[in-house]
Amino acid sequence: MLNKEHWELKHKNSEGKYNQVTDFARFCYYNFMKKKGKLLDLCSGKGADAIFFHNKGFKVTALDYSPEAIKQFNATQKRYDIFIASLVKDISETLPFEENAFDYCYIRLGLHYFTDDELRMIIPEMLRVIKPGGLLFCQVKSTSDKDFGHGKMLEKDMYEDETGYIRHFFSKDYADDVLEGFHIILNEERKIPSGSAYLEIVAEKK
Ligand SMILES: C[S@@+](CC[C@H](N)C(=O)[O-])C[C@H]1O[C@@H](n2cnc3c(N)ncnc32)[C@H](O)[C@@H]1O
């Protein structure tokens, strides 16, 4: 798992940035979220996507382990006079929600910081809080990414670069395997000109 101090510093040093809704949030909303409902945004960062979903009529709960990210998110909420429940919480711990609590669980660039063992604890916990028939949306770095294979190998497809930044790069087969318990609706790679490559996954709780 990635050191929390890493993100505290990153969020502090980027105050005022990363506050635009992402293409992935729009993609999920326009293609898959036909019905309004309760949405859990995990590793929500400064909350730009959470605010987008809120403005589209979803009841959003946002969660991140960085107090700084949540502080900036809450300041944005205050500025625009909106209220979205936000929590400082580590997703490698039990999620503080009842089972079947959410229609949607959204996690953009949050799941690729964990070892295989950690993911096999975190994913069943996400499955627990999603309603049957509910959807998981997930974007992670893929094994086609330009940074794949760089730095110290921690375990299969997981590397730590010289700054201490850790990422577990997902292949399509790995995503299918680790998301057992979900019915995979979409598992597609997206490459962008910078050399970054992502897996975009939509999965339904059976
Ligand atoms: C690349 S950012 C993505 C933020 C946001 N989802 C977005 O798309 O802009 C990764 C986020 O994951 C959070 N994070 C990393 N590990 C976490 C953990 N174990 N529990 C909760 N949040 C975590 C970081 O604080 C950071 O805000």
Write down the pLDDT at residue 73: 97
How close is the Cα of 161 to the center of ligand 1, in Å? 18
Half-sphere exposure of 204 (CA within 13 A, CB side): 8
Mean pLDDT of 126-143: 98
DSSP string, 80-97: HT---EEEE--TTSPPSS
What's the mean per-residue pLDDT of the chain?
96
pLDDT of residue 3: 76
Where are the chain's structural domains? 4-205
Report the nearest atom of ligand 1 relative to the CA of 41: 6
Tens of pLDDT, residue by residue over 171-203, are: 999 999 999 999 999 999 999 999 999 999 999
CA distance 39 to 33: 10
Q: Is the CB of 47 under 6 A from ligand 1?
A: no
CB of 1 within 6 A of ligand 1: the answer is: yes
Q: By percentage, how much of the chain surpasses pLDDT 70? A: 99
Q: Which of 12, 43, 92, 140 to mutate to test the pocket of ligand 1 (most atoms within 8 A of CB)?
A: 43
- Asked whether 47 and 66 are in contact (CB, 8 A), the reply is no
Q: Is 72 in the pocket of ligand 1 (CB under 6 A)?
A: no
What is the identity of the amino acid at 83? F
Angle in degrees, CA 19, 20, 23, rounded to 5: 140
Q: How many C-beta neighbours within 10 Å does residue 54 have?
A: 20
Homologous superfamily in CATH for domain 4-205: Vaccinia Virus protein VP39 (3.40.50.150)
Distance from Cα 45 to the centre of ligand 1, integer Å:
5
Cα of 181 to ligand 1 centre, how many Å? 24
Q: What pTM was computed for the model?
A: 0.97
